[in-house]
A and B are shown apart, each in its own frame.
Chain A
Amino acid sequence: MRKKFRMELSEILELPMDISLDLPRVVIVGDLGVLISNHRGLIQYSPGRIVVGVGAGQITISGDNLEIEEVGKEQMAVRGIIKYVEMNTV
Chain B
Amino acid sequence: MTLRRLIGYVLGYVRVQARGKNPERLVNLCVCSGFPVWDIALIDDHLYFSTTLARYKQIRPLARKSMCVPRIVKRVGIPFLIGKIRRRPVFILVSIILLAVLFWLSGSVWAISVKGNVKVSRSDILRVASDNGLAIGARKSYVSIDNLQQAIAIEFPGISWVYIRFQGTLAVIEVVEKVRPDMPGPGDIVARKDGVVESVLVLSGVPLVQPGQTVKKGDLLIAGVPSGGIQGARGNVTAKTWYEVVNEEPLSRLEPVRTGRKKEARVIRVRDTEFLLFPWGTLFEWYEIEQYPITAFGKGEVAFAVEIFMRVFFEVTWERKEISIEEAVANAQARGKRAIESRLPSSAKLIDFSYEASGDAESVLVRVVAGTIEEIGELAPWPSYENGGW
Contact = CB atoms under 8 A, between A and B. Distances in A.
Partners in one complex: yes
Interface of A: 41-47, 67-73
Given A42-B24, A43-B24, A69 B38 contact: yes
B34 to A, nearest CB: 7
A45 B47 contact: yes
B42 A71 contact: no
B41 interface: yes
Interface of B: 2, 4, 23-24, 27-28, 31-32, 34, 36-42, 47, 49
Nearest to A42: B24
B31 A69 contact: no
A79 B106 CA distance: 49
A45 B40 contact: yes
13 contacts: A42-B28, A45-B23, A45-B40, A47-B41, A67-B39, A67-B41, A68-B38, A68-B39, A68-B41, A69-B40, A70-B2, A71-B27, A73-B31
Contacts of B41: 47, 67-68
Contacts of A47: 41-42
Contacts of B49: 68
Contact of B38 (A42, A45, A71, A73): A71
Contact of B40 (A41, A44, A67, A73): A67
Contact of A73 (B27, B32, B42): B32
A71 B24 contact: no
A71 B37 contact: yes
Contacts, number: 46
A72 B27 CA distance: 10
A47 B46 CA distance: 11
A45 B36 contact: no
Nearest to A47: B42
B47 A41 contact: no
The binding surface of chain A is classed by DSSP as strand
B31 A72 contact: yes
B37 A45 contact: no
Q: Please provide the 4 A-B residue pairs with the shortest distance between their CB atoms, ordered closest to farther.
A: A68-B40, A41-B28, A70-B38, A42-B24
B47 A70 contact: no
Given A70-B4, A71-B37, A72-B36, A45 B31 contact: no
A42 B25 CA distance: 7
Given A42-B27, A44-B24, A46-B42, A70 B32 contact: no
A43 B228 CA distance: 110
Contacts of A69: 38-40
Contacts of A67: 39-41
A42 B24 CA distance: 6
B325 to A, nearest CB: 106
B306 to A, nearest CB: 67
Nearest to B32: A73
A70 B37 CA distance: 6
B7 to A, nearest CB: 13
Contacts of B37: 70-72
A46 B37 CA distance: 17
B34 A73 contact: yes
Contacts of B39: 67-70
A67 B32 CA distance: 20
Given A70-B38, A71-B27, A71-B38, 9 more contacts: A41-B31, A45-B42, A68-B39, A68-B41, A68-B49, A71-B31, A71-B40, A72-B31, A73-B34
Nearest to A76: B31
